Each structure stands twice: as structure tokens, then as C-alpha cells.
Structure 1
Amino acid sequence: MRIVLVSQYVSALRGMARVCKRGGYLPVAAVCTRAESSTSGRSTPRMVALSKALVGSCPPGLSVNVVDGMGPLCDVIERYSPDLLLVRGFPWRLPARVLQAPRFGAVNLHPSSLPEFRGPFPVDWAIRRGDPELGFTAHRMDAGFDTGRVLAGVRFEVGPDEFGSAVWHRVDAAAERVLAPALDRVFAKDPGEEQDDTQASYAGAFDVDDGFVDWTRSAQEIHHQVRAWSLGSQGVEGPLADLDGSPVRLLRTSLTAIDAPRVSCRDAPIWLADFTRLPPGNTPSTERKASAK
């Protein structure tokens, strides 16, 4: 069984490889790209760092292929003549020729309960909304983004005070839980269930204003805003806020009293457990200013 893995993230590739190995399947290759977009061959420092981490951290025996752009990536995948393509954490659309070539098709692992939160940032939006549970879905890939037939899904709890790496640890564990039953259905040639498009929603990137803290909102809203930004998906670790007339980036907050600066929000106080002071010039607008007590 020739399985090719596609991802931009070490944890995703290692997790898919572990599940395949437990099922008696050994992936032959992992493929990622240094390119900044699906239409560009240009790399960025962030993408180069990710690709270097992949090369240095993938399981032994797995051939790692780092390419520049979608064209070379598709060529490499086709060169391996895979029986199955497994994808997780790869935000660009793969062309039909790649999806249709494997005899068992292509399967994507998506961190939401599809059809809710299709798109690249489902975890960010679920955390921003304060959801006590997140979802993970394995689905067949088709011409759309996250629109294919569902093979397996799980729900899992996330604590209201979990940030960044703690959330991603739970997401990674859910991905492994959902992949095993999905593989069983794939190799049984089970097509899976169609999604209900009338229930679909989209999780795109945050707006510019989402990067600023408005102290007139509720403490819980601000807390979940900081949690969402701590995931790192939006390019920086936390939203900007005004504190005593100075710009800061919030990294961690608490809704219970701790030994940290306290700010009054619309309905309750919030404590700034971790933040970084920034140079002048990043100050949010006047209505967002607050004083620590």
C-alpha cells in the first residue's frame, strides 16, 4: 500500500504516520512546500523554517520532499504513484489530476465538525467563540474546500483556560483518533456520507479589527479573543491592547484573580497573565484604552 502524506506541519505528519503504522501501512513519502501561496514559487522565512523542521523531525524511513510551489508538489506526488493520499494542515486546493490518481482517492483531516467551519481557521473561530467542544472530521477530497463525503468524526473537550500549545495538543490527538476508522472505510471502498451544505459555515482569517482588544466588551469575550490569537495561526501570538496609554500585545489572560495587572471590562475584571510591551505607534484607537489597577 503506497500512501503519500501532505502537510506543512511536523505534528500532522508524525501523527498520520503513526496511525498508518499501527494499521499495518507504511507511508512511502511526505510532501510539503516552501512557497508562500499556491500560485507562487517564492518562499518566506516562516515557510522555510517549517520545511526544515519537517525534514529534521519526520519518522525514519519516510522520504521527505520539500518543493517550491504547487506545480512541483503535484509532480512529486504523481511520481510516487500513491494508492492513497492523506492530507492535513495543507491550506491550498490540490488539482483534480492529483486527487483522482490514487486508486483509493484522497482523504483530508479537518479540525471541525463538518460542514461547520469549512476553511483554513476552524480552531481559531471555535476558540474565539468560546466553544467548550471542538470537532475533527476525516473526509474524502473533491473539487471544493472541505466539501467531500465524511468518513469519520469525533468531538472533544477543550478547557476554557487552555491556550496555544495545550489546544493544539488536543487537536493532534483528535486527528489520530479520527484517522483510524477513516482508513478502515477507505480500504473497504466505503464512499462516506454527503455533507449537508445548508448547514455549512466558513472559517476564514480574522479581520484587522479582530487584532485589537476593545475593553468595553465582556471579559469572557476578550479572554477567548486572546486564546484564539495564542494559537499562532494569524501570524502573531496575541491581539494588541492599550494599557495605561502604552501599546501591549496580550499573550495570556485570566478570568480569576491572579497576581497580575487587572483591567475592568464591560461586565467584569480580567487579569493580564502575560503580555509584551510594544514600541509606540501600535496604540489602538482611543475607545479601546484602559488602565490597569
Structure 2
Amino acid sequence: MSADLVTADPRMRILLVSQYVSALRGMVRVCRRGGYQPVAAVCTRAESPTSGLSTPRMVTLSKALVGSCPPGLSVNVVDGMDPLCDVIERYSPDLLLVRGFPWRLPARALQAPRFGAVNLHPSSLPEFRGPFPVDWAIRRGDSELGFTAHRMDAGFDTGRILAAVRFPVGPDEFGGAIWSRVDAAAERVLAPALDRVFGKDPGVDQDDSQASYAGAFDADDEVVDWTRSALEIHHQVRAWSLGSQGVEGPLADLDGSPVRIHRTSLTAIDAPRVSCRDAPIWLADFTRLPPGNTPSSERKASVK
């Protein structure tokens, strides 16, 4: 991949699309550091922008964006895809920059900016296309994660790659620590990606034969099965600690009582100890829940 690096033109107007404060702040920081002008941000309070129906979770996210947006940047809150496209066309940006917006944008949105649209995706594309790549990588126990900046097209995370990085993640890191590494990687790929976009570098095609999809976890993935290995359960808890699936921590049974487990340890600590298939695991942090939704009997465990 090559490009004639360009001197940043402050007249290049970039419209940001995101649902998350940390993602928005990182994009603004890199744009301004590189001499580019972020003109505004857009988010939705609809759980599905095609439906336009607001949910408490999305309303909370949109309020956080409005309340914590960087100085000098306005946030446009919309209730569906058509209003989002209206905002894009009204600002008439040179580039649409997207991170943490897990829905496919229509052609109307992608075609409005002069230089098209770029998405920041937390995986080494084409692996783990879709909305939950970090969750699946952690669930699998990966010691390295990837981050890719790519052009957006009609597919879901299928556009040409502009920049990519790999970075380590510790085996005992959970939610916030993992997201901090992801945020840092996003900033690392964004700067060269912007230079390549405005230098008119088309990017590199993805190898579709290597593609995989990272959708939401199944209902069974939410329940801890104590007959699995301690390491599998540890990575399951780490994946759910990210909060992407709507709750933080998988559901488990301890002596007949339902709990959500937020943090585990594979080495002995002063915490409840549970025997798994091959080794014990220690429950460093968990929340007891009201009776109900208790896992099936084969998934029950006794605290030692």
C-alpha cells in the first residue's frame, strides 16, 4: 500500500459518526492533531436506526455523547437512518468518519461526502467483520487484537483497507483495560488512514475467502458451564466484561443462587473458589441476583 502523503488541509471537513464518548474523543483528537477539521458528530438514540424506536440504553449513550463531547463540536442526535442521512447532506462534509456505529449505512450516506466514508473497525479485517469483533477475539483467548481503517462500501466491513495495526492484550485484562488498548489502536490507524484518503489512495482489497463474522453471542454463551475448562470460563468472563452484549458478566449458578461474574482469576486469591473441569477458578468480583433464570442443573457449582 502506498500513497503520496499530503499536507493536511484545514478546509477538509470531516463529519463523525459514533455512539461512544471515547471513540468520538479519539477521532476528534487525531483529526485536530493532523490539521483536519471535525465539523460535527452524529449519533442515534434508536436501538435499530431503521426502526427509529428509542431505547433506554441508546438514550443513555446519546446523552453521554452530548454531555461529554469535545469543546467546539456539536452532536446531532437522530432517531433513524433517514434523519441521519439528512444531517450528513446538510453538513456536506468532505469525509464521513465512523467508529462504534454498528449498523450498515445506506448508499445515500456513503455517497454524500466528496471523499466517501471511512470506518474504524476493531479487528484484523477480513476476520471478525460485524458488530462484536473484540468480544469474539477475547472469548477465543487471543493474545493479540487487530484494528483496521477501511473505506466503506455497500457491504458490512467489506471495503478496501487503508491502515491496520496489531496490539497485545494481557490474559488477565478485563473490560476497561481492554477498551483502553482498543482506543489507542484506533488512534494509531486513523492518522495514516486520513493521509491516504486525502492523498487519493484507493486502499487494498480484502480477501473475502478469509472473512468471518462476529455477531452477538448466543443465549447459551451467557451461561457459565462449570464442566468446561477454567481457561475457557476465564475468557468467557473477560468477553462479557466488555459490556457490548448489553450486560456485564455471564450468568452462573453458585450453590443454587444466580450470579453475574465480572472478574475471575486463574491463580489463588482471597475469593470464592469453584472447581471447573480441569482446575479451580476464583471469582474475584460477582453480583448476586434475585431468584429466577437459574442455569440448568448441569451448570451448577458449589463454592469452596
Alignment TM class, shorter chain as reference: over 0.9
TM normalised by structure 2 equals 0.95
Whether the 8 Å contact between 2:224 and 2:299 is mirrored in structure 1 is yes
Q: What is the SS of the residue equivalent to 1:98? A: helix
Deviations 1:254-277 (CA, angstroms, capped at 9, x unpaired) = 000000010110111000001111
Task: Specify the alignment match of 1:274 in structure 2.
Answer: 285
Q: Shift of the alpha carbon at 1:226?
A: 0.3
Name 2:264's counterpart in structure 1.
253
Tell me how far 1:38 sits from its aligned partner. Answer: 2.2
3-state SS in 1 of match to 2:59? helix
- What per-residue deviation string (whole Å, max 9, x for no partner) do you get for residues 102-134 of structure 1? 111100000000000000000000000000000
Q: Aligned equivalents of 2:109 and 2:257: distance in 1?
A: 51
- What is the SS of the residue equivalent to 2:163? strand
Q: Would the aligned equivalents of 2:49 and 2:79 in 1 still touch at CA under 8 Å?
A: no
SS class of match (1:28): strand
Q: Partners of 2:256 and 2:61 in 1: how far apart?
A: 37
| 53-62 vs 189-198, greater mean Cα deviation | 53-62
Partner of 1:146: 157
Deviations 1:185-224 (A, max 9, x none): 1011000000000000000000000010000000000000
State how far apart, in whole Å, the 1-side matches of 2:114 and 2:296 are: 56
| Contact 2:15/2:93 (<8 A) preserved | yes
User: 1:244 offset after TM fit, Å?
Assistant: 1.1
Cα distance in 2, alignment partners of residues 248 and 12 from structure 1: 31
Task: State how far apart, in whole Å, the 2-side matches of 1:53 and 1:272 are.
Answer: 31
Return the alpha-carbon distance in structure 1 between the equivalents of residues 151 and 31 of structure 2: 17
- 1:78 shift after superposition: 0.7
Residues of 2 paired with 1:250 and 1:160: CA distance? 17
1:80 aligned to 2:109? no
Cα-to-partner distance string for 1:140-187 (whole Å, 9 max, x where unaligned): 000000000000000000000000111000000000000001011101
**Higher mean Cα deviation, 190-199 or 276-285?**
276-285
Identical columns (%) = 90
| Cα shift at 1:41 | 1.6
Deviation at 1:76, TM superposition (A): 0.5
Kept in 1, the 8 Å contact 2:139–2:236? The answer is yes
User: Structure 1: where are the runs of 5+ without partners?
Assistant: none
Matched residues in 1 for 2:130 and 2:209: separation? 16
Q: CA deviation at 1:28?
A: 0.5
Deviation at 1:100, TM superposition (A): 1.5
CA distance in 2, matches of 1:209, 1:287: 13
For 1:242 and 1:61, how far apart are their aligned partners in 2? 49
1:103 alignment partner, SS class: coil
Match of 1:46, SS? helix
Aligned length: 293
Corresponding residue of 1:115: 126
Distance in 2 (CA, whole Å) between partners of 1:105 and 1:219 is 46
Distance, in Å, in 2 between the alignment partners of 1:237 and 1:63 is 30
**SS of the residue aligned with 1:52?**
helix
In 2, Cα distance between the equivalents of 1:39 and 1:152? 30
What's the secondary structure of 2:52's corresponding residue? strand
Does residue 218 (structure 1) correspond to residue 229 (structure 2)? The answer is yes
Question: Structure 1 CA distance, aligned partners of 2:107 and 2:291?
Answer: 49
> What stretches of structure 1 move > 2 A for 4+ residues in a row?
none
CA contact (8 A) 2:272 2:303 kept: yes
The gaps in structure 2 that reach 5 residues or longer are 1-11
Aligned-partner Cα distance in 1 for 2:81–2:115: 22
Write the deviation string for residues 15-51 of structure 1: whole angstroms up to 9, x where unpaired.
Answer: 0000000110120010001111021122111111111
**Is the contact between residue 226 and residue 276 of structure 2 (CA under 8 Å) also seen in structure 1?**
yes
Q: Which moved more, 1:245-254 or 1:219-228?
A: 245-254
